[in-house]
Structure 1
Amino acid sequence: MAGPGWGPPRLDGFILTERLGSGTYATVYKAYAKKDTREVVAIKCVAKKSLNKASVENLLTEIEILKGIRHPHIVQLKDFQWDSDNIYLIMEFCAGGDLSRFIHTRRILPERVARVFMQQLASALQFLHERNISHLDLKPQNILLSSLEKPHLKLADFGFAQHMSPWDEKHVLRGSPLYMAPEMVCQRQYDARVDLWSVGVILYEALFGQPPFASRSFTELEEKIRSNRVIEDFFAHPWVDLEHMPSGESLARATALVVQAVKKDQDGDAAAALSLYCQALDFFVPALHYEMDAQRKEAIKAKVGQYVSRAEELKAIVSSSNRALLRQGTSARDLLREMARDKPRLLAALEVASAATAKEEEAGGEQAALDLYQHGLGELLVLLAAEPPGRRRELLHTEVQNLMARAEYLKEQVKMRESRWAAETLDKEGLSESVRSSCTLQ
């Protein structure tokens, strides 16, 4: 609330109430629209007398950027006004406070929760970077939550943001030291990738409860965060998995895959149909997350139940076929082994393939089998390249093809099995056990 002796400023059309926070040159208040809707908003008040040249530039940048942006994970600027004393930015209200408070009240966040937050933050940043906009001051205090009941991240505070090109050369120190990339601390040339450094620091803090480079002085901090390591492709990273982020497109993508699955099923291609049904379930999970209407959600769940039932039937068919193929492959491998008695390296590689087959037949042995298949293939491909024409080369070529097919098949199964986040989400929807059994072949 406002301190003794002073209160929030007056603004036509709004009733300003409690103070939500203060920054370098602005104070943010919760407010209600006086009109019939009584809409709740956040109003950032900037006293004109506190503005220097840099503050004016920051404020104009924030207005310019937010006016042109509409994204579910970026705080919306609804309007802005001014009077003789203040400039007012009328913003979307986020009832959940900021991410810093959210983390600290829970000490640490489960990896499942952190991943959902990272998807949402990645989605917002990708949207900005596609428009050559960098935030430059990413930190938990600048990331708001829509609510505490069903929190969605909203990127806020664009005072330092700017349009950037890869060749821009910047020497102005911006942002918060704890979350600042080394090239910014050292005041070297930097670009949009500095935001990804900050994302990494934020993720670390979410998982461990404190930033990785906390220090007693700026000099000590600078020494800690100096690094030459290359930042990986964050947006395409499988852990972030933007492809399966809950969105308005999730249901359409799931439905399109089901259409393909039904076609393959009708054509008698059980393995392809099962794979497509399971891919569809990977999109139905976020679709259920995204859908807010209870009736539509129940309709989706009913459809998912039908697809799970069919996937279970297909699983039985494919499992039977796989066992027959494994026996066939073992028989052909035995013949090749007889013809390779003078090739110890080939014999050793075939033993690895046999170990992979045995491991695949064990319950839960998919990942170990995949590792063995890939190791064996690495050797066999080298040997195949050096093998002269003849019957042994033909058998070796067939063996390599069979092993590659097994490895690709297992890779898909492992991916489905490791989709823990999807399984946990479906637990809440009451469908977990069915999906697990359908999408994991024993």
Structure 2
Amino acid sequence: MAAGFAPPKLAEFILTERLGSGTYAVVYKAYRKKDNREVVAVKVVSKKSLNKASMENLLTEIEILKTVKHPHIVQLKDFQWDSENIYLIMEFCSGGDLSRFIRSRRLLPEHVARRFLQQLASALKFLNERNISHLDLKPQNILLSGGTLKLADFGFAQYMSPWDERHVLRGSPLYMAPEMVCNRQYDARADLWSVGVILYEALFGHPPFASRSYAEIEEKIRSNRPIETMLVMEAVSKDQSGDYAAALSLYCQSLEHFVPAVHYETDAQRKEAIRKKVKQYISRAEDLKALVASNNKISFAQAKTTRDLLKEMSRGSPRLIAGLELASAAVAKEEEGDDGHDTLDLYQQSLGELLLMLAAEPVGRRRELLHGEIKCLMARAEYLKEQLKMRETQAEASMDRDPLSESVKSSCCVQ
């Protein structure tokens, strides 16, 4: 079953593309030969690869999946075997796994992460009521079918009463509870830690304790240092490269996550460490705000010169003149401090007109200037969109009573 080998043959199914693989198994997409050619996923486990412990795990997985039926747990439809392999016939999930879904979008909006977490919680509550612990929760083991999340891969799952304790290492290091990482006894609550790590990854695009060894993970978990988010790292990178507008936007987005963390943190040392980080980011955001405002004035002046020249060159084109006038009106409103929806609408109207004119414009100096003007206007429109989105997010968060939140709002409101 190595890469490049033909999939095994089953009497009732046609196995096609390879969907994924693990230590003991390869998963294929398959079609049922009869009836409606139902699409399924077939997990093929080589008997040769199984030792005593992994065979016990597989039998437990089959036993659990045969007895549970839940809208957010992948269904085991059947299992078969021959002289070489054991085959688990599973429900097919067309959306791939949650890890791929997060990577394709970089990070997930809070409302999407919230919906997925509710579905995962529903599945775990169902399992908990039956004294079943998954013990290998990670985005790769959570599949998507349409907008529905499905918990999969019960290879490490165990029957565990709430008071049961185990010490056998199970799962993936990045998502393991501290008790597992530190080789201590753990109980059914280990799954809750993994849920928290998954939620963090959904919101920030990477797990909180990315490390190269168990020792490094343990050190990071025990540390009181606040977790640096990918947003902060990107903000620092943009700041160092001189892209101050992008850096300010990224700092403000990261602060939206850090401020609630200060509010809800119960450990005094951690709370103070996060608070210091937040104050540091607010201070830098204030500096960037002044730099961006200064750069805006310069860019407005430069753009006005180009726009005036374009108007001179466009006297025979009333429609082009009209588009440029709309752009001038948008810039004037922004210079006056109006960075709301009305100004954004003006930018979008002007871009609509100018893009049409660019498509019909012959090669030459005017086309070159028009292309540059459109790029400038698009950048301003995108910047305004980000500012509006940040303000709307802050309003939704309803953090008005927190003095730290007021500082964030002040720093992230750019004129």
Please give the TM-score of this superposition, normalised by the length of structure 2: 0.53
- Following TM superposition, the consecutive aligned residue runs of length 4 or more in structure 1 with deviations greater than 4 angstroms are none
Residue of structure 1 aligned with 2:150, choices 149, 154, 178: 154
Which residue is equivalent to 1:219?
Answer: 215
1:2–1:26 distance in 2 versus 1, CA, 3 Å: closer
Alignment of 1:39-438 (within 5 A): 39-146=38-145, 150-226=146-222
Using the aligned pairs only, state the percent identity: 81
Contact 1:168 1:189 in 2 (8 A): no
Contact 2:120 2:149 in 1 (8 A): yes
**Matched AA of 1:47:** S
**Alpha-carbon separation, structure 2, partners of 1:55 and 1:227:** 34
**RMSD between superposed Cα atoms in Å:** 2.3
SS at structure 2 position matched to 1:203: helix
**Matched AA of 2:12:** G
**Matched AA of 1:163:** Y
**Alpha-carbon separation, structure 2, partners of 1:170 and 1:112:** 35
**Matched AA of 1:187:** N
Shift of 1:368: 10
Which residue is equivalent to 2:10?
Answer: 11
- Residues 93-148 of structure 1: CA deviation (Å, up to 9, x unaligned): 001100000000100000010000000000000100111100000000000001xx
Which residue is equivalent to 1:332?
Answer: none
- Residues 255-281 of structure 1: CA deviation (Å, up to 9, x unaligned): xxxxxxxxxxxxxxxxxxxxxxxxxxx
Shift of 1:3: 3.8
**Matched AA of 1:142:** N
**Matched AA of 2:93:** C
- Structure 2: 5+ residue runs without aligned partners? 225-394, 402-415
Contact 2:15 2:30 in 1 (8 A): yes
Shift of 1:165: 1.8
**Alpha-carbon separation, structure 2, partners of 1:97 and 1:176:** 19
- Residues 297-348 of structure 1: CA deviation (Å, up to 9, x unaligned): xxxxxxxxxxxxxxxxxxxxxxxxxxxxxxxxxxxxxxxxxxxxxxxxxxxx
Shift of 1:54: 1.2
**Alpha-carbon separation, structure 1, partners of 2:208 and 2:126:** 27
Shift of 1:189: 1.9
**Alpha-carbon separation, structure 2, partners of 1:79 and 1:33:** 12
The total of aligned residue pairs comes to: 231
- Structure 1: 5+ residue runs without aligned partners? 229-363, 372-442
SS at structure 1 position matched to 2:200: helix
SS at structure 2 position matched to 1:108: coil
Shift of 1:217: 2.1
Shift of 1:91: 0.2
**Alpha-carbon separation, structure 1, partners of 2:82 and 2:211:** 42
**Matched AA of 1:174:** R
Contact 2:134 2:158 in 1 (8 A): yes
SS at structure 1 position matched to 2:6: coil
- Residues 28-47 of structure 1: CA deviation (Å, up to 9, x unaligned): 00000001210000000011
SS at structure 1 position matched to 2:191: helix
- Residues 206-228 of structure 1: CA deviation (Å, up to 9, x unaligned): 00000000112221111112489
Please give the TM-score of this superposition, normalised by the length of structure 1: 0.50
SS at structure 1 position matched to 2:10: coil
**Alpha-carbon separation, structure 1, partners of 2:83 and 2:174:** 37
**Alpha-carbon separation, structure 2, partners of 1:76 and 1:145:** 13
**Matched AA of 1:185:** V
1:112–1:35 distance in 2 versus 1, CA, 3 Å: same
**Matched AA of 1:65:** I
**Matched AA of 1:111:** E
**Alpha-carbon separation, structure 2, partners of 1:189 and 1:113:** 34
Alignment of 1:26-45 (within 5 A): 26-45=25-44
- Residues 39-65 of structure 1: CA deviation (Å, up to 9, x unaligned): 000000011111111110110011000
